[in-house]
A and B are shown apart, each in its own frame.
Chain A
Amino acid sequence: MIGRHRHCLGLADYSPEDIVEVLDLAVSMKEVLKRPIKKVPSLRGKSVVNLFFEASTRTRSSFEVAAKVLSADSLNWTASTSSVSKGETLIDTVKNLEAMRPDVLVIRHSAGGAPALVAQRVDCSVISAGDGSHEHPSQGLLDCFTLREKLGSLVGRTVTIVGDITHSRVARSDLYGLARLGARTRVCGPPTMIPPGIEALGPTVHTDLKEAVAGVDAVIMLRIQHERIGDPLIPGTREYSRLWGLNARKAEEWLSPTCLIMHPGPINRGVELEPEVADGPRSVILDQVENGVAVRMALLYLLAGGPEAANEAKA
Chain B
Amino acid sequence: MKAVDIERAVARLAAEVADRARAEGSERGLAIVGIRRGGVHLAGRLRKRLAKLLDHEPPLGTVDIALYRDDLDEKGAVPVVGPTDVRFPVDGKTIVLVDDVLYTGRTVRAALDELVDFGRPRRVWLLVLVDRGGRELPIAPDFVGERLSVLPQEDVQVRLTEGGAAEDQVIVTRRTP
Q: Could you list which residues of chain A lie within 8 angstroms of chain B, going by C-beta atoms?
A: 3, 25, 27-29, 31-32, 35-37, 39-43, 70, 301-302, 305-306, 308-309, 312-313
CB-CB under 8 A from A31, the residues of chain B are: 83-85
Q: Is the CB of B77 within 8 A of A313?
A: yes
Cross-interface CB contact of A42 among B69, B82, B117, cutoff 8 Å: B69
Residue of A nearest to B84 (CB): A31
List A contacts of B75 (CB < 8 A). Answer: 309
- Pick 8 A–B contacts, CB within 8 A, sort by A: A35-B117, A36-B119, A40-B114, A42-B67, A301-B81, A305-B73, A305-B77, A309-B75
B residues neighboring A (CB under 8 Å): 64, 66-70, 72-73, 75-78, 81-85, 113-114, 117-119
Judge whether A42 and B72 touch: CB under 8 Å: yes
Residues in chain A near residue B64, CB distance under 8 A: 28
Q: Are A37 and B83 in contact (CB under 8 A)?
A: no
A302→B73 CA distance, assembly (Å): 12
Q: Are A40 and B68 CB-contacts (below 8 A) given A302-B78, A309-B77?
A: yes
* Chain A proximity of B77: nearest CB distance (Å): 5
Q: Chain A residue with minimal CB distance to B85?
A: A31
Residue of B nearest to A41 (CB): B68
A302 to B77, CA, bound (A): 9
Are B113 and A41 touching (Cβ within 8 A)? yes
> Are A35 and B118 interface neighbours, CB within 8 A?
yes
For B82, the chain A residues whose CB sits under 8 A away are: 28
Q: Which A residues are CB-close (under 8 A) to B70?
A: 41
A sample of 17 more A-B contacts (CB under 8 A), given A28-B81, A42-B72, A313-B76, is: A3-B77, A28-B67, A29-B81, A31-B85, A32-B67, A37-B118, A40-B67, A41-B68, A41-B70, A41-B113, A301-B78, A305-B73, A305-B78, A309-B76, A309-B78, A313-B77, A313-B78
For A1, give the chain B residue with the smallest CB separation: B77
Asked whether A27 lies within 8 Å of B73 as measured between CB atoms, the reply is: no
Query: A42-B67, A312-B77 are known contacts. Are A305 and B118 too (CB-CB below 8 A)?
Result: no
Q: Are B117 and A40 in contact (CB under 8 A)?
A: yes
Task: Point out the residues of chain A lying under 8 angstroms from B84, CB to CB.
Answer: 28, 31-32
Contact of B117 among A29, A39, A302 (CB under 8 A): A39
Residues of B within 8 A of A29 (CB): 81
B119 touches A25 (CB 8 A): no
The 7 closest A-B pairs by CB, nearest first: A312-B76, A40-B67, A37-B117, A305-B78, A42-B67, A313-B77, A28-B81
Residues from chain A with a CB closer than 8 A to the CB of B68 are 40-42
With a CB–CB cut-off of 8 A, which chain A residues contact B85? 31
With a CB–CB cut-off of 8 A, which chain B residues contact A37? Answer: 117-118
Across-interface contacts of B81 in A (CB, < 8 A): 25, 28-29, 301
Residue of B nearest to A314 (CB): B77
Give the complex CA separation of A312 and B117 in angstroms.
31
B118's partner among A36, A43, A301, A302 (CB-CB below 8 A) is A36
Rounded to whole angstroms, the CA-CA distance of A309 and B72 in the bound complex is: 9
Q: Which residues from B are CB-within-8-Å of A39?
A: 117
Q: Which residues of A contact B78 (CB under 8 A)?
A: 3, 301-302, 305, 309, 313
Using Cβ atoms and an 8 Å threshold, which residues of chain B touch A32?
67, 84
- Smallest CB gap from B113: residue in A: A41
How many whole Å from A127's CB to the nearest CB in chain B?
15
Complex Cα distance, B68 from A302, in Å, reads 15
In the complex, what's the smallest C-beta–C-beta distance from B108 to chain A, in angstroms?
15
Chain A nearest CB: distance from B106 CB in Å?
Answer: 13
- Kindly state the separation between the CA atoms of A25 and B83 in the bound complex, as whole angstroms: 9
The answer to whether A28 and B117 have CB atoms under 8 Å apart is no
Q: When A40-B67, A305-B72, A305-B78 are in contact, do A28 and B118 touch as well, CB less than 8 Å?
A: no
Question: Nearest B residue to A38 by beta-carbon distance?
Answer: B117
Separation of A312 and B76 alpha carbons in the complex (Å):
6
Task: Specify the chain B residue showing the minimal Cβ separation from A306.
Answer: B73
Please give, as numbers and ranges, the residues of chain A lying within 8 Å of B77 by CB-CB distance: 3, 305, 309, 312-313
CB distance from B80 to the nearest CB of A (A): 8
- A27 adjacent to B118 (CB under 8 Å): no
Nearest CB on B from A308, distance (A): 7
B69: nearest chain-A partner, CB-CB: A42
